[in-house]
Amino acid sequence: TTLLQEGYDEFLVTGDVYRRDEIDSSHYPIFHQMEGVKMFTPEELSGASTPEERLKIVEQDLKHGLEGMAKELFGDVEMRWVDAYF
């Protein structure tokens, strides 16, 4: 909430995560996690009249931002999106 109170409307937060999982050949219980926040203005969503259309605008913005960050970090690499949930 501090960042929002300071007037930021989009930002990333990174941190270390520690779990009580057992270490094995494919799992390690310590990793980094990143979360992002972006507040949309009514004007940014004005082209959408339904919740589904607003969701599509937000989804496209998220994908564009993540692809841009990946391109900046790793260069011009192949990217793809997989619709999967876990």
- Residue 56's SS3 state is helix
Higher pLDDT, 21 or 67: 67
Q: Binning pLDDT at 50, 70 and 90, where does residue 47 land?
A: confident
Pairing status of strand 10-18 against strand 30-38: antiparallel
The reported pLDDT for the residue numbered 80 is 93
Whether the Cβ atoms of residue 32 and residue 14 lie closer than 8 Å to each other: yes
CA-to-CA distance for 12 and 17, rounded, in angstroms?
Answer: 16
pTM exceeding the 0.75 threshold for the entire prediction: no
The confidence score (pLDDT) of residue 41 equals 92
Please give the structure tokens belonging to residue 16.
């270390």
- Range 14-34 average pLDDT: 90
Q: Which pLDDT belongs to residue 6?
A: 95
